[in-house]
Amino acid sequence: MKLPKQVEIIEVGPRDGLQNEMVFIPTDKKMSLINALNKTGIKRMEATSFVHPVYVPQMKDASEVFQGIVKDPKIQYMALIPNEKGFDRAIEQGVQAVSLVVGASNSFNLKNVKMTRAESIKKFENVVVKAKEQKIFVRYNIATAFWCPFEGAVDESLVVEMAKTINRLGADEIVLCDTIGRANPNQVYSLFSSIMELQPEAMITAHFHDTYGMGQANVLAALQAGVRQFDASIGGLGGCPFAPGAAGNVATEDVVFMMNELGIETGIDLEALRLSLDLVKQMSNRGLMSHYYSVLEHSCV
């Protein structure tokens, strides 16, 4: 098995991990989590989301969170934005890296932002132009890249064409998201191999949920296809308000543990993640999906 010497783990817990929590998490607790994650060796994370609070109430304190966290100059703090208005709000708060989302599935995209896939891509063109003019990093997520909760399997060629378009727009990063955690390693290897063959200027990142317990297997499949950047969420929290049945993301500590076992450097201190795990446990009324945390709970390590 051909393995790289190093990969990057991008922490999405403060945004993707917490956005689906039904009970509002106090702002100071969100900031405490990010400040704890600052000390783990993570170099990039999604800190919050400038979406309308009517649609995602958990993120209504985005400005307060972003202003209140301790910002390590060695860490890139990203904010998800739904449209140009959200972009402007984020930039006003000093955000230097934005995360955009377009669903490969029209049905999902309509549920998510009330626009078709083509309409969203078109509207984001101006956002990307504005971002590039202001030297803002652009992370472009393709949601439901493998499966849609409303339409089923997504055509691989459609996602490849989307990636080509996004790369031409000048995005810095393209993230292929298994939004509902339904992908399998064969699909993952096939799609990422096709994307990597394009040799895009944008970096390519994998984003997996663990609904069917295949998250780690899919990480390994993407790794074999040449992917070197992976999203993960502390404690395995996550989900999507607009994707019924979506479970949590692959857990940061599980991915880091697996990479350690494979001899692959992540730059993340697994022991330092323990404090963050304790904080996350207090924030959620759901059980953590993390296998590593389960081991810790049973005092096996």
Catalytic center residues: 240
Task: Give Cα separations from 52 to 49, 61, 112, 191, 235 (angstroms).
Answer: 9, 10, 12, 32, 26
- Is the CB of residue 194 less than 8 Å from the CB of residue 224? no
Provide the greatest CA pair distance for the chain. Answer: 52
Task: Give Cα separations from 81 to 15, 49, 258 (angstroms).
Answer: 11, 6, 31
Classify the C-alpha dihedral 68-63-49-280 as positive or negative. Answer: positive
Distance of alpha carbon 247 from alpha carbon 71, whole angstroms: 30
Strand ranges (DSSP E) for the chain?
8-11, 44-49, 76-80, 97-103, 137-143, 147-148, 152-153, 173-178, 203-208, 229-232
Distance of alpha carbon 103 from alpha carbon 240, whole angstroms: 12
Residue 157: other Cβ atoms inside 10 A: 10
Distance of alpha carbon 288 from alpha carbon 282, whole angstroms: 10
Classify the phi-psi angles of 264: left when phi > 0, otherwise alpha if psi is within -120 to 50, otherwise beta. beta
Pairing mode of beta strands 147-148, 152-153: antiparallel
- Is the CB of residue 125 less than 8 Å from the CB of residue 135? no
Distance of alpha carbon 245 from alpha carbon 224, whole angstroms: 28
Distance of alpha carbon 291 from alpha carbon 257, whole angstroms: 10
Measured in degrees and rounded to the nearest 5, phi and psi for residue 77 equal -105, 115
